[in-house]
Structure 1
Amino acid sequence: MWEVRAAVWRNRSARTRELSRWERLESPVGGVQGPALPSESAVHFVLDLALRIGEVQMSSGAGASDATATIIAVTNAYGMPHCEVDVIFTSITVACHRGVDLPPVTSLRVVRSRSLDYTRLALVERLVRDITLGRVTARDAHTELDRITNAPHPYPRWLATAAYAGMAAAISVLIGGDALVALFAAIITAVIDRIGRLLNKRALPFFFQQMVGGALATGCAVGIVASGVLPDSVRPTLMVAAAITVLLSGLSFVSTVQDAITGYNVTAAGRTVEVSLMTAGLIAGVVIALNLAVHLGLPSVPLAEPLPPSLVRLPLQTLAGAAAAALFALASYATPRAVVVAGVAGAAGAIGYSGLVLAGVGSIAASAAAATVIGFSGGVISRRLRIPPLVIAVAGMVPLLPGLTIYRALFELAVERSNSGLSTLMVATSIALALAAGVVLGEYLAQPVRYGLGRLERRISGPRLAGPLRPTKRRLE
């Protein structure tokens, strides 16, 4: 009898000691120290896991607020609720506060590479979901993250090139091109992508890669016009516009505006400089090719207005928008489910933009409204389908990027020597900003709908395009 009671007491004492590790302790000086934490090595282990997850998100184009919320959720899930996160564009710093008697533990990680692999982002999102629900230990999460980050792309590189080429063909049809224009746009874009791949292997800075891409897009179009293979009815301007849109698609417009709106001003400033520099490289390449054509006496690629909107072309534009968005998602290595949903978002954006233009709405307002619809629908649907909203938002807005407006501005500046090119360039910038801001606004409006129709959450943390919806506070026992 006494032996049974002693065994029960020992078990109860062991459980009490285990649970007391997470109870609030009193400091020797009379203040509250906070929850007891694991050893310093365990803290470093969890912080390294959280930082690597944040690095994958940042390199995939997620905003600073998304990475911050994800890191806080991961550290909370593993019993470290007092962590501060600082994201500054290319670096992530996490400090774990351990009370007034112990020094904090701080870790830093630099985001060195930026590449679009939406399958990797989706797998990391699933891992974060398992962590916050308590389904995986920190050591197993490290092993799974190693497997995700070291895995090759889910599709071969030639398939990504073919997807970019098909995307250019779809965009050329969207803005009024015929089958011949779509074919040449696809060929030009495929050449640009393969050459860019070779330049990237030689570590050429991305600014010069964009310059080469812009020069190739314009130069190839000039060569096609000079060869005389195109009939007079074909408008070669649309080839250049489609190729420019593909080159613009890899820039992080959405995350730049998201960081600015959510208060991460330093990160937003860094992204703004990056986007501006990459766009400047593209502009420089186009201008160089146009000036070279004028100097050599070659026929330039004349300006052409997009076909006026009409109800007859609306179904074709809808299909072209869906194809462009789906092919961009495929080129960015998205999962098959995400590719299908991205196509639906692209169709919604194309029909929304075309319908508003038909109703007499200006291009900037129509772009903002269509992007808001994309962000809203992506925010509501993607979470239920286990797809990061970032994938749907970016893919859906890509067909609406102002490639044709940018080329018109550069042609007016470089060939016609007209100051009206500056105002046209400002219109293109406004359209790009309206698209990004509309996507972020749509995601913000989708938050109360996700938590229940007609019921507004008391605390809305801001637009979220990646990571968990809110940090999860759970004690590890």
Structure 2
Amino acid sequence: MWFTQRNRSARAHDQPRFPRERRPDGQVPPAVQGPALPDEATVHFVLDLAVRIGEVQMSSGAGAADATATIIAVASAYGLPHSEVDVIFTSITVTCHRGVDHPPITSLRVVRTRSLDYTRLALVEKLVRDITAGRIAVRQAHVELNRITSAPHPYPRWVATGAYAGMAAAITVLIGGEPVMALFAALITALIDRVGRLLNRRALPFFFQQVVGGALATGGALALVASGVLPDEVRPTAAVAAAITVLLSGLSLVSTVQDAITGYNVTAAGRTIEVSMMTAGLIAGVVLALNVAVNLGLPSQGLAEPIAPSALRLPLQTVAGGAAAACFALASYATPRAVLVAGIAGATGAGGYSALALAGFGQIAGSAIAATAIGFAGGLISRRLRIPPLVVAVSGMVPLLPGLATYRALYELAIERTLTGLPTLMVAASVALALAAGVVLGEYLAQPVRYGLGRLERRISGPRLAGPLRPTRRRLE
């Protein structure tokens, strides 16, 4: 087969061919035989495999640099000449150059849907490792990829709903809410998830789904207060903040910052607009519910004061952070091993942030340092355990998302009508940016410790959260 004759240098195809000159004796010297070039059908077959793998990575939240490096590695593993990859958030384009004597071949794939399925991402990562190591032929790789992409989620949907509910309860405990508030946060988050799934079936844009989620979280809490079920001294701030944190967890903050840092500005701009619109929808839902409650005369109960850092609460916050991260990984259909590692990362991040708060660090600085530790530790451990670092990084930073600060800012703007909500909202945005940047920085710092910068890292510069790091160039027999 053509892919058994690997091209040792793509430059050989880029050299122009000149007429052979005759020797002094009048004889024409024999032509130098270069490596055989694949036919167009074969190139299309390999490029289709490569772009479909890249599509799975992009739809799972991986960065453009990760998808680019993976596509180049897969094409190189199957003997294609020099390939160029262009990723622009909603589409992937790959062009294979076969020299000046042959026209280039281009393959395009549109990334239509985006859903979190970390088990699918892990299986695709394993397939890529097999491809770059020369353990699987191209047609077998196609069959395996079809099996991975067509397989159902590893857990029933109700497991994901329960995981989101458990995540909300854990975050409520993390930020100092009472047990009754943790129970309510779990119930309202489960309701939001089921309503969101129903709206998703009807193809309602995600912006409006965020509006509905924010309105349900806030309106449900205010309705509970108006019913008199809660004691007067109990305020639903923590429950609403936990539900908002769950809604914020679905945003692609890490990949947005990663694309901006690694130079994929068009993709970063697209992700930024998506994150901004999703956040705007959440804000609109919360403000809408607060204004309706005021117009109906429902008691607002005010804001609960943030709990001061305490060494006595440090173990509880560590456990709650680990539980929240593990629940998010489970809700995102991660493998059991990944769920366990994500829980450890979340506990590390929550405990580290609480310790930094006790030491007098500010919210933004503490979030950045804790997220860097998560990215660094996750980058070292996850690769050894065959887990995509993206799973550990995103899950580990979830407990630190600024759900409480976001709700406080919106309450101050919508109910108290004070401009103090604007600085609070800016702090929340700064914390989210610090978390994402810290995770990416931690993974970047882990690269030279783990392997040293290989040739692919020099070509695809920057931190890598998915895909192969150092693909081997072997011949498939």
> Which TM-score tier does this pair reach, normalised by the shorter chain?
over 0.9
Question: 5 Å matches for 1:370-449?
Answer: 370-449=370-449
Aligned counterpart, 1:29: 18
Identify if the C-alpha distance between structure 1 residues 456 and 207 changes in structure 2 by more than 3 Å, giving closer, same or farther: closer
Identify if the C-alpha distance between structure 1 residues 131 and 471 changes in structure 2 by more than 3 Å, giving closer, same or farther: same
The answer to whether the 8 A contact 1:76-1:474 is kept is no
Residue identity (%): 78
Aligned counterpart, 1:127: 127
SS at match of 1:84: strand
C-alpha deviations, 1:171-214, integer Å up to 9, x for none? 00000012111000000100100000100000000000000000
Once the two structures are overlaid, the 10-residue window that deviates more, 231-240 or 364-373, is 231-240
In the aligned structure 2, how far is the partner of 1:183 from the partner of 1:471?
48
Q: State the shift of 1:36 in Å.
A: 3.4
Question: 5 Å matches for 1:101-140?
Answer: 101-140=101-140
Q: State the shift of 1:448 in Å.
A: 1.1
In the aligned structure 1, how far is the partner of 2:209 from the partner of 2:462?
35
Identify if the C-alpha distance between structure 1 residues 303 and 474 changes in structure 2 by more than 3 Å, giving closer, same or farther: same
The alignment status of 1:162 with 2:151, answered yes or no, reads no
The answer to whether the 8 A contact 2:409-2:424 is kept is yes
Q: State the shift of 1:235 in Å.
A: 2.5
Q: State the shift of 1:308 in Å.
A: 1.0
The answer to whether the 8 A contact 2:165-2:187 is kept is yes
Tell me, which stretches of 5 or more residues in structure 1 are unaligned?
Answer: 1-13
The alignment status of 1:357 with 2:357, answered yes or no, reads yes
Identify if the C-alpha distance between structure 1 residues 19 and 105 changes in structure 2 by more than 3 Å, giving closer, same or farther: closer
Q: State the shift of 1:472 in Å.
A: 3.9
Aligned counterpart, 2:24: none
Aligned counterpart, 1:343: 343
Q: State the shift of 1:233 in Å.
A: 3.3
Once the two structures are overlaid, the 10-residue window that deviates more, 225-234 or 87-96, is 225-234
Question: 5 Å matches for 1:454-469?
Answer: 460=458, 461-469=461-469
In the aligned structure 2, how far is the partner of 1:150 from the partner of 1:229?
47
User: Letter of the aligned partner of 2:390 in structure 1?
Assistant: L
Identify if the C-alpha distance between structure 1 residues 434 and 19 changes in structure 2 by more than 3 Å, giving closer, same or farther: closer
Aligned counterpart, 2:201: 201
Identify if the C-alpha distance between structure 1 residues 109 and 280 changes in structure 2 by more than 3 Å, giving closer, same or farther: same
In the aligned structure 1, how far is the partner of 2:333 from the partner of 2:105?
36
SS at match of 2:306: coil
Aligned counterpart, 1:67: 67
The answer to whether the 8 A contact 2:7-2:80 is kept is no
User: Letter of the aligned partner of 2:353 in structure 1?
Assistant: Y
In the aligned structure 2, how far is the partner of 1:464 from the partner of 1:425?
30
In the aligned structure 2, how far is the partner of 1:261 from the partner of 1:34?
40
Q: State the shift of 1:21 in Å.
A: 7.9
User: Letter of the aligned partner of 2:439 in structure 1?
Assistant: V
The answer to whether the 8 A contact 1:221-1:301 is kept is no
Identify if the C-alpha distance between structure 1 residues 301 and 122 changes in structure 2 by more than 3 Å, giving closer, same or farther: farther
Aligned counterpart, 1:84: 84
In the aligned structure 1, how far is the partner of 2:226 from the partner of 2:324?
29
Q: Paired residues, what number? A: 459
SS at match of 1:380: helix
Identify if the C-alpha distance between structure 1 residues 426 and 21 changes in structure 2 by more than 3 Å, giving closer, same or farther: closer
SS at match of 2:87: strand
Q: State the shift of 1:302 in Å.
A: 1.7
Aligned counterpart, 2:273: 273
Aligned counterpart, 1:176: 176
Identify if the C-alpha distance between structure 1 residues 21 and 385 changes in structure 2 by more than 3 Å, giving closer, same or farther: closer
Q: With structure 2 as the length reference, what TM-score do the two structures score?
A: 0.93
The answer to whether the 8 A contact 1:119-1:334 is kept is yes
User: Letter of the aligned partner of 2:51 in structure 1?
Assistant: L
SS at match of 2:311: coil
User: Letter of the aligned partner of 2:336 in structure 1?
Assistant: P
Q: State the shift of 1:34 in Å.
A: 7.6
User: Letter of the aligned partner of 1:92 in structure 2?
Assistant: I
In the aligned structure 1, how far is the partner of 2:333 from the partner of 2:63?
19
The answer to whether the 8 A contact 1:76-1:475 is kept is no
Q: State the shift of 1:268 in Å.
A: 0.1
SS at match of 1:86: strand
